[in-house]
Amino acid sequence: MKRIVLGSKLHKAMVTESVLDYEGSLGLDGALMKAAGMIPFEQVHVYNVSNGERFSTYLIKAAEGSGTVAVYGAAAHKAGVGDKLIIVSYVLLDEEETEFTVPRVVILDEKNKVREIR
């Protein structure tokens, strides 16, 4: 049996840009992607702590160290500049793998810098 479990999470990412007229996706600082073990074009789920909205999209790598968390396209209706987000990726595991797989949780500060990795 396969299970879908949390692979990684960026906690309290603050939206720095929201652009409606765009193809769509989530621009994310490359350093934050690395810290969370996420990759460009990976599917992510986004949970907006500020307004309760939820959506899924894919990642576009933004400049490393920029602190960028940019919501593009239709998702811009669900998150605006200053909103706090939880960005998660899930992994598909065999039942046996679930016993030793631990998700990577990255806690961010108010400037989208890594405060802690669990």
pLDDT digits (tens, 9 = 90+) for 56-74: 999 999 999 999 999 999 9
Q: Which of 8, 25, 72, 89 is catalytic?
A: 25
Instruction: Respond yes or no: is residue 90 known to be catalytic.
Output: no
pLDDT digits (tens, 9 = 90+) for 13-22: 999 999 999 9
Residue 72 catalytic? no
Angle at CA 29, nearest 5°, toward 52 and 70?
A: 45
Let me know if residue 118 belongs to a domain: no
Q: 111 lies in a domain? A: no
CATH number at residue 39: 2.40.40.20
102 assigned to some structural domain: no
3-state secondary structure of 97: helix
> What pLDDT was estimated at residue 24?
77
Burial of 68 (0-12, 13-18, 19+ CB in 10 A): buried
In a domain, 99, yes or no: no
How many Å apart are CA 7 and CA 88, to the nearest integer? 8
Q: Residue 8: inside a domain, yes or no?
A: yes
- Report the 10 Å Cβ neighbour count for 9: 22
Among 58, 66, 72, 90, the one annotated catalytic: 58
List the domain range (segments joined by +) for residue 84: 2-94
Task: Say how far apart CA 97 and CA 75 lie, in whole Å.
Answer: 33
Number of domains composing the chain? 1
Judge whether 65 lies within some domain.
yes
Give the pLDDT confidence score for residue 64 in this predicted structure.
98
Please indicate, yes or no, if residue 24 is contained in any of the structural domains: yes
Query: DSSP strand E in the chain: where?
Result: 2-14, 17-19, 25-29, 43-48, 54-62, 69-72, 84-94, 104-108, 114-117
